[in-house]
Amino acid sequence: MTTRIIVALIGLSIALPSTAQQPQPDPKDTEVWAPEPVRVVPASASTAPSDAVVLFGGKDLREWVAAASPDTPAGWTVKDGVLTVRGGSGDIQTRRLFGDYQLHLEWRVPATLSGTGQARGNSGLFLAATGAGRGYELQILDCATNKTYVNGQAASLYKQFAPLANACAAAGEWQTYDVIWTAPRFGADGALLAPAYVTALHNGVLVQNHAALQGETVYAGKPFYRAHGPAPIKLQDHGDAVSFRNIWVRPL
């Protein structure tokens, strides 16, 4: 019996894994040194990032045209470094066309407002204007204490997605939008290959998180896509004297 136990123990010891120390990985094997990212001087309160296209820096509207007639200069008012909607003059849009981008924009509704709902400091940021009043709208509206339908309040992707939070400042105060826009992709036959995506922060608060748009903005009915390429960025004249400043874009 003793002999059998010893033989069994010897067999067991042979089956045990080796306790020899395994070589340790070298941290340098997972270090990547090239290519180096492009150096960009970041934005400050008064300056855009060094690689940005400044769409409005407080002086003029050279980067903008009338949306209804792109050969016509934009008809809004510039005073004291601020761009303000001139009610009835129509929407304005950028001279340049953009695909994917990062956008910064500051906006302010008038301090004194008499309307309610959608008639209270209404404007819109169209992330891509596709012509004839079409495009993809991020709503601008006073919603600090103003109630309206949630997919039409400030920072909503109009009639598609309500914001994740109401981050509105009081009327008369400057507010910020920071947006990452990924344009939709279409095939050669015009078929949709990938939807547009929007990530947006309102006053530093995440309000749209990689939202997949269902199509272009429509006031009534269901949104749908029409094939298009790079497009202007548009600001809406909804009749209210909404103001803007410090607008810049970084093509991605």
Q: Name the one residue in this structure whose structure tokens are 């992330």.
A: 127
The average pLDDT across 228-246 equals: 97
Q: How far apart are CA 48 and CA 45, in angstroms?
A: 8
Note whether residue 242 is domain-resident: yes
Note whether residue 27 is domain-resident: no
Number of structural domains the chain divides into? 1
The average pLDDT across 29-35 equals: 92
Note whether residue 23 is domain-resident: no
Note whether residue 144 is domain-resident: yes
> Position 41: which residue type?
V
Higher-pLDDT residue of 2, 213: 213
Q: What DSSP designation does 178 have?
A: E
Domain that holds residue 173: 54-251
- pLDDT (tens digit, 9 = 90+) per residue, 129-155? 998 889 999 999 999 999 999 999 999
High-pLDDT (> 70) share of the chain, %: 92
Note whether residue 21 is domain-resident: no
Note whether residue 26 is domain-resident: no
Note whether residue 9 is domain-resident: no
- pLDDT (tens digit, 9 = 90+) per residue, 141-196? 999 999 999 999 999 999 999 999 999 999 999 999 999 999 999 999 999 999 99
**What pLDDT is attached to residue 2?**
52
Q: How far apart are CA 41 and CA 171, in angstroms?
A: 32
Q: Which CATH number belongs to the domain containing residue 107 in this structure?
A: 2.60.120.560
* 174 close to 244: Cβ distance less than 8 angstroms: no
Q: How far apart are CA 160 and CA 189, in angstroms?
A: 26
Predicted TM-score of the model (pTM): 0.89
* 84 close to 219: Cβ distance less than 8 angstroms: no
Q: How many of the other CB atoms lie within 10 Å of CB of 14?
A: 7
Note whether residue 115 is domain-resident: yes
